[in-house]
Structure 1
Amino acid sequence: MIIKCVVDIFRRVLQYNVPHGKMYCGISVLPAYELMVPKGSLTEADIKLAIYLGWCVEMSITMLNLQIKAMLLIDDDIMDGSITRRGKPCWYKLEDVQLTAINDGLLIEESVYYILKKHFSHLQCYARLMEHFREMTFIGGVGQYLDSKSTQQDVLSFTMEQFKVTAQNKASYSGIYFPIAAAMHLAMCNDPEAFRQAEAICLEIGYFVQLQNDFLDCFGDPEITGKLGTDIQEGKCTWLAVMCLQRATMAQKMILKECYGNNDSESVKIVKQLYEELSLREICAKQEELSYNMICRKIRETSERHPIRVLQKLLGKTCQNTK
């Protein structure tokens, strides 16, 4: 029996953490599902299931942002020391929450599987959905681990390969491929080539999104992004740091080594000045355009009813974030 106080606490956890931000992952499920189902055959019950599935995806993404290393679940914001998330104080920063955020992440994860069992266990796709959610949760956890582990490295050891692997695990699979493949499973898609196409394009989109996230963390306006950037202070392996290493002189690399990963405003200022000297803002814009055009071309090459096409509009909105 679940007592009322637990229900009230869990309601607060969900309302504070889940239904905020752009929720691109969750809202991608229904239109992707609609693309795969023959026109005119969708029932109200089908639409409800897709909506439930979208919320499960969004809750799982929230849970992934409430993780930390090893076997414990804790907020992503604790990992990177952030103060705000989506324009509000981070969940763990609230006076009456703090380390109970560990248990809150567990509650959200288990509630996802409860919802899946309640609404999808009668469907043939149930086992595939359960496997998909567990796989994406695991991959997302690996991404969070790789992201946090980089803070213990010497900045001079960062490589583009390391950045791409982290982006794949942290953004491509759990953030982009997750909702699309979930919709495909719900639509009973059994075409391996369709899944392969979706995965390949989502990997490219994940790289694109992570590049943008790194740019906004450094140069974005917190009033717009809703989060204070901490990548430089934390010493993370970002696209900007890797590009800086590729273009910097030995003297500039020594400046980066001395200042990167220091949690003081002067060091952050020096690193940002170094990025500006190397024209990384302009290089990022060019790379973004190239990546965007390539992804759009690959999406156009898929069939008109491939669920990956729902990401075309999402990609356009995302591309505007750094304008």
Structure 2
Amino acid sequence: FLQAHYLVEDDIMDGSVMRRGKPCWYRFPGVTTQCAINDGIILKSWTQIMAWHYFADRPFLKDLLCLFQKVDYATAIGQMYDVTSMCDSNKLDPEVAQPMTTDFAEFTPAVYKRIVKYKTTFYTYLLPLVMGLLVSEAAASVEMNLVERVAHLIGEYFQVQDDVMDCFTPPEQLGKVGTDIEDAKCSWLAVTFLGKANAAQVAEFKANYGDKDPAKVAVVKRLYSEANLQAD
């Protein structure tokens, strides 16, 4: 339920079209954006309802509910990092509160890892691992710092793969339409490219990144291919 909540809300924030081969929930016939937002809230509320229903008399319930809150908070912070990673407060369009231009100062490995840690790894990997340990009452027998470290490493590996597929995998195979370039996301591809490109390539990248014009998107993909990022 919690993952479904994040996906519903994330699709709305990103203006996504497809999710796993089907229209995003907010784009389904008869489902308005307002209804989809509320549906996402309902999905999240079910996590605690289900926990109380099945584990009301179990000693780990408090820790489980605390875990849900921790993951929910961390993921919300991650979403904020994701949507503001390109944002310069001095360059905001007051009408839409979105960045009009950027110097790409936030496109660094450290910022990228921070986004991935909070946006992806907490709910995708840390949550199920720690839930399993709590429900099996084995949490006391493991080093939780190590569990968190492993979860974050797996999450980072997953997100790098996801970023590459978003750019290079056809929508019919990916199950969604990749829009990281159009949305000016701080992706692994963008960060890695800026770290290895020459001045002319960087200038061409900055002139085309974050634009929905298919011709400009094609330029960015060409730059990525020329840099052989898929081999990295």
TM over 0.5: yes
2:44 corresponds in structure 1 to 109
Q: Give the counterpart of 1:277 among 217, 223, 226.
A: 226
Q: Does 1:125 align with 2:55?
A: no
Note the residue ranges of structure 1 that are not aligned, 5 or more in a row. Answer: 1-58, 67-74, 284-323
Deviation at 1:222, TM superposition (A): 1.4
Q: Distance in 2 between matches of 1:258 and 1:245?
A: 13
Paired residues for 1:1-323 under 5 Å: 59-66=1-8, 75-99=9-33, 100-152=35-87, 154=102, 156-157=104-105, 158-191=107-140, 193-283=142-232
Counterpart contact for 1:151–1:261, Cα < 8 Å: no
Deviations 1:247-280 (A, max 9, x none): 1111111111110000110010000000011111
Deviation at 1:198, TM superposition (A): 1.1
Q: Distance in 2 between matches of 1:155 and 1:277?
A: 23
Counterpart contact for 2:86–2:104, Cα < 8 Å: no
Give the TM-score taking structure 2 as reference length.
0.89
Counterpart contact for 1:81–1:230, Cα < 8 Å: no
Deviation at 1:156, TM superposition (A): 2.7
Deviations 1:91-138 (A, max 9, x none): 111231122111101111112211111111110011111101111111
Q: Distance in 2 between matches of 1:176 and 1:216?
A: 20
Counterpart contact for 2:130–2:139, Cα < 8 Å: no
How many residues in Structure 1 have an aligned counterpart in Structure 2?
217
Counterpart contact for 2:109–2:191, Cα < 8 Å: yes
Change in Cα spacing, 1:155 to 1:208, as seen in structure 2 (3 Å) is: farther
SS of corresponding position for 1:273? helix
Greater Cα radius of gyration, structure 1 or 2: 1
Counterpart contact for 1:260–1:268, Cα < 8 Å: yes
Q: Distance in 2 between matches of 1:107 and 1:136?
A: 17
Note the residue ranges of structure 2 that are not aligned, 5 or more in a row. Answer: 89-101
Give the TM-score taking structure 1 as reference length.
0.65
Change in Cα spacing, 1:235 to 1:80, as seen in structure 2 (3 Å) is: same
Q: Distance in 2 between matches of 1:130 and 1:147?
A: 26
Q: Distance in 2 between matches of 1:78 and 1:197?
A: 34
Matched to 1:106, the amino acid is: I
Quote the sequence identity (%). Answer: 33
Counterpart contact for 1:146–1:166, Cα < 8 Å: yes
Change in Cα spacing, 1:165 to 1:232, as seen in structure 2 (3 Å) is: same
Q: Distance in 2 between matches of 1:165 and 1:192?
A: 29
**Displacement over 4 Å in runs of 4+:** none
Matched to 1:252, the amino acid is: Q
Deviations 1:4-53 (A, max 9, x none): xxxxxxxxxxxxxxxxxxxxxxxxxxxxxxxxxxxxxxxxxxxxxxxxxx
Counterpart contact for 2:124–2:155, Cα < 8 Å: yes
Counterpart contact for 1:85–1:227, Cα < 8 Å: yes
Q: Distance in 2 between matches of 1:221 and 1:108?
A: 30
Q: Distance in 2 between matches of 1:252 and 1:190?
A: 50
- Superposition CA RMSD, Å: 1.4
Matched to 1:250, the amino acid is: A
SS of corresponding position for 2:68? helix
1:56 corresponds in structure 2 to none
More helix by proportion, 1 or 2? Answer: 1
SS of corresponding position for 2:138? coil
Q: Distance in 1 between matches of 2:201 and 2:32?
A: 39
1:47 corresponds in structure 2 to none
